[in-house]
């Protein structure tokens, strides 16, 4: 992956004897006399850490805080970077990932940090399994080291070339090696998703998404073109696609479990609106600005499918994307048009900017026709969800509480907050149309749920969950986050 320009590895050795530009060690909050690896370095530095950094400078190990000091040749590394792990009792694997992201970001800003070595945080006093710890360090380092600088003349990271975990115990190194492999895999999926969602819309077209899917040679991939989409009766999806000169693509990627008895069949649907102008109900400039991100969920599904052969979950997984643009071209669908979805449900277009649910409607029908056990759709679906939950948590709705609970748990384990929204039947009223089976929008109040209730019209006889990532997929100044990737990977592996 060229968006991360360094390697993460592990070697057996002594921290103080290993040459490096930067040595990363840690400090739990409130510790005055460090023990373990940090203690050893403190001694090697004649008590510089305990007496000066902690004693005089007041560095207190608060979560995510960083202190850098020179070593004046007392150890093999030129500088020591101490990262605060926060309170020992609050420390967990998510925090380790977060801290690792912060550390690498700091290193990337340093002038001389070609080679960074690090203690295996958490494996000592933290009490973590070395494999898990290494996995989180690798994952955080590789996602934190991500930079979308493809279009920058001056690249963001030219400094860090190597990140090496150093441990003197052979057994720890072995476990760390396998942990790094796992962490790298997850980071690859997350960074893959970020890359696609950060891309300019002129690049990440429906055709491009289809090409990417088709490049996954080890999966069964079928891409339906406009004629085939028409034949399948996906009138809702096609309605949205009409206003753009970019042809729509319906993408179906299939992964078969290597074991004889897969536990279940799952369909993952990612909203793939490659640009959302709003259509004829055009968005104002400030709302349209980041609408290249309206395919973030499709990018997440592609990211997952890009590593699924190596991930090897014991289930059958269908990745589905109805990819198109929502544009106000001369042949655009209009407010008042009536579209017929694949399952025959007729939809009066109330607002052309509620396009995601129309494309998802046909994708849901397609998924149900596959006779899978579970369908999870993920989408940058509603501004209302973003207003309700902000940029910290995604919303979830569905028809099966156990599945929802599990998804929320899998999110938490991956550091992704998901909050359940109800699907109150009362709100169905506002979706009623005088001339069709339903409208595509209802009242502005409860907008995230109304979208969920609309989607429910296209779900038949399967366990279904809908994750709204409108607030979490793309953050101002930070760009794409890869929202949903970790949650869904954990879910497939559970």
Which residues, at least 6 apart from 281, have a Cβ–Cβ distance to it below 8 Å? 335, 351, 352, 353
Whole-angstrom distance, CA of residue 230 vs CA of residue 494: 37
Considering only 69-77, 307-315, 376-384, 453-461, which stretch makes contact with ligand BES by CB under 6 A? 376-384
Q: Which is nearer to ligand BES, 100 or 198 (CB)?
A: 198
Considering only 109-117, 123-131, 203-211, 275-283, which stretch makes contact with Mn ion by CB under 5 A? 275-283
Residue 468, interface with ligand BES (CB under 6 A)?
no
Phi, psi of 273 (to 5 degrees): -90, 105
Residue 350, interface with Mn ion (CB under 5 A)?
no
Contact set for Zn ion, span 337-376 (CB under 5 A): 356
Residue 294, interface with ligand BES (CB under 6 A)?
yes
Sheet arrangement for strand 346-348: 338-340, 346-348, 438-439
Catalytic residue selected from 357, 439, 463, 486: 357
Residue 468, interface with Zn ion (CB under 5 A)?
no
Residue 98, interface with Mn ion (CB under 5 A)?
no
Q: Which is nearer to ligand BES, 372 or 469 (CB)?
A: 469
Residue 377, interface with Mn ion (CB under 5 A)?
no
Catalytic residue selected from 283, 406, 409, 428: 283
Torsion-angle region of residue 318: left (phi > 0), alpha (psi -120 to 50) or beta?
Answer: beta
441 binds, among Zn ion, Mn ion, ligand BES, none (CB under 5 to 8 A by kind): ligand BES
> How far apart are CB 488 and Zn ion at their closest, in Å?
20
470 binds, among Mn ion, Zn ion, ligand BES, none (CB under 5 to 8 A by kind): ligand BES
Q: Which is nearer to Mn ion, 10 or 480 (CB)?
A: 480
Q: Tokens 């950094």 sit at which residue? A: 53
Count of positions (residues) in the chain: 494
5, 113, 322 from 266: Cα distances, Å? 34, 44, 17
Could you tell me the sign of the dihedral formed by the alpha carbons of 108, 113, 114, 115, in that order?
A: negative
- Report the residue number whose CB is nearest to Mn ion: 353
The angle at the Cα of 187, spanning 186 to 189, to the nearest 5 degrees, equals 65
Residue 353, interface with Mn ion (CB under 5 A)?
yes
Bridge partner residues of 438 (DSSP):
347
> How far apart are CB 451 and ligand BES at their closest, in Å?
7
Q: Where are the beta strands (DSSP E) in 282-345?
A: 316-326, 338-340
Contact set for ligand BES, span 260-289 (CB under 6 A): 276
Whole-angstrom distance, CA of residue 238 vs CA of residue 326: 10
Residue 276, interface with Mn ion (CB under 5 A)?
yes
Residue 294, interface with Zn ion (CB under 5 A)?
yes
> How far apart are CB 354 and Mn ion at their closest, in Å?
6
Question: Is-catalytic flag, 283?
Answer: yes
Residue 405, Cα to own-chain centre: how many angstroms? 19
Answer for the pair 358, 311: CB distance below 8 angstroms, yes or no: no
Residue 353, interface with ligand BES (CB under 6 A)?
yes
Annotate 414-437 with DSSP letters as a single string. TT-EEEE----GGGGGGG--SSSS
88 binds, among Zn ion, Mn ion, ligand BES, none (CB under 5 to 8 A by kind): none
Residue 441, interface with ligand BES (CB under 6 A)?
yes
Residue 380, interface with ligand BES (CB under 6 A)?
yes
Residue 131, interface with Mn ion (CB under 5 A)?
no
Residue 198, interface with ligand BES (CB under 6 A)?
no
Answer for the pair 470, 386: CB distance below 8 angstroms, yes or no: yes
Structure tokens at 54: 């902690």
Structure tokens at 309: 């052969």
CB atoms under 10 Å from CB of 440, counted, come to: 29
Q: Which is nearer to ligand BES, 26 or 382 (CB)?
A: 382
The residue count for binding Zn ion (CB under 5 A) is 4
Whole-angstrom distance, CA of residue 28 vs CA of residue 47: 17
Q: Which is nearer to Zn ion, 319 or 356 (CB)?
A: 356
Residue 356, interface with ligand BES (CB under 6 A)?
yes
Phi, psi of 340 (to 5 degrees): -110, 120
> How far apart are CB 288 and ligand BES at their closest, in Å?
10
Whole-angstrom distance, CA of residue 215 vs CA of residue 449: 36
Answer for the pair 250, 229: CB distance below 8 angstroms, yes or no: yes
459 binds, among Zn ion, ligand BES, Mn ion, none (CB under 5 to 8 A by kind): none
Binding residue (CB under 6 A) for ligand BES from 384, 423, 455, 467: 384
The angle at the Cα of 78, spanning 72 to 80, to the nearest 5 degrees, equals 95
Q: Which parts of this chain interact with Mn ion (CB under 5 A)?
A: 276, 353, 355
- Give me the residues that bind ligand BES (CB under 6 A), please: 276, 294, 351, 353-356, 380-384, 386, 441, 447, 470
Residues that bind Zn ion (CB under 5 A): 273, 276, 294, 356
Active site residues: 283, 357
């Amino acid at each position: 992956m060229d968006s991360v320009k360094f390697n993460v590895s592990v070697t057996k050795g002594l921290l103080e004897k290993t040459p490096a530009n930067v040595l990363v060690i840690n400090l739990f909050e409130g510790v005055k006399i460090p023990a373990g690896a940090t203690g050893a370095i403190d001694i090697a530095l004649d008590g510089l850490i305990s007496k000066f950094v902690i004693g005089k400078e007041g560095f207190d190990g608060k979560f995510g805080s960083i202190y850098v000091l020179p070593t004046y040749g007392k150890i093999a590394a030129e500088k020591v970077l101490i990262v605060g792990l926060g309170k020992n009792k609050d420390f967990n694997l998510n925090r380790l990932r977060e801290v690792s992201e912060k550390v690498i970001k700091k290193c990337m800003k340093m002038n001389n940090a070609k080679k960074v070595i690090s203690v295996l945080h958490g494996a000592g006093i933290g009490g973590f399994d070395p494999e898990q710890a290494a996995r989180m360090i690798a994952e955080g380092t590789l996602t934190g080291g991500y930079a979308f600088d493809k279009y920058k003349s001056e690249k963001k990271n030219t400094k860090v070339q190597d990140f090496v975990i150093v441990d003197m115990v052979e057994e720890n190194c072995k476990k760390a090696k396998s942990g790094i492999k796992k962490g790298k895999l997850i980071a690859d999926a997350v960074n893959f998703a970020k890359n696609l969602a950060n891309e300019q819309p002129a690049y990440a077209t429906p055709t491009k998404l289809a090409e990417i899917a088709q490049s996954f040679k080890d999966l069964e991939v079928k891409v339906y073109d406009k004629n085939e989409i028409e034949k399948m009766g996906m009138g809702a999806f096609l309605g949205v696609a009409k206003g753009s000169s970019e042809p729509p693509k319906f993408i179906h990627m299939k992964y078969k479990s290597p074991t004889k008895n897969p536990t279940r069949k799952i369909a993952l649907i990612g909203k793939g609106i490659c640009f959302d102008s709003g259509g004829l109900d055009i968005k104002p400039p400030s709302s349209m600005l980041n609408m290249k991100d309206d395919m973030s969920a499709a990018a997440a599904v592609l990211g997952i499918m890009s590593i699924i052969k190596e991930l090897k979950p014991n289930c059958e997984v269908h990745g589905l994307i109805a990819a198109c643009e929502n544009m106000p071209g001369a042949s655009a669908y209009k407010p008042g048009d009536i579209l017929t979805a694949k399952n025959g449900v007729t939809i009066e277009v109330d607002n052309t900017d509620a396009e995601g649910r129309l494309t998802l409607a046909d994708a849901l029908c397609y998924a149900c026709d596959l006779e899978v056990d579970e369908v999870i759709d993920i989408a940058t679906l509603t501004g209302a969800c973003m207003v309700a939950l902000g940029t910290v948590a995604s919303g979830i709705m569905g028809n099966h509480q156990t599945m929802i609970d599990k998804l929320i748990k899998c999110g938490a384990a991956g550091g992704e907050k998901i909050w359940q929204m109800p699907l109150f039947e009362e709100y169905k009223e506002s979706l009623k149309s005088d001339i069709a089976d339903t409208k595509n929008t209802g009242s502005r109040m409860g907008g995230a749920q109304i979208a969920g209730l609309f989607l429910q019209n296209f779900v038949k006889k399967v366990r279904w969950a809908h994750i709204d990532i409108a607030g979490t997929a793309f953050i101002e100044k930070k760009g794409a986050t890869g929202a949903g990737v970790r949650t869904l990977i954990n879910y497939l592996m559970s």
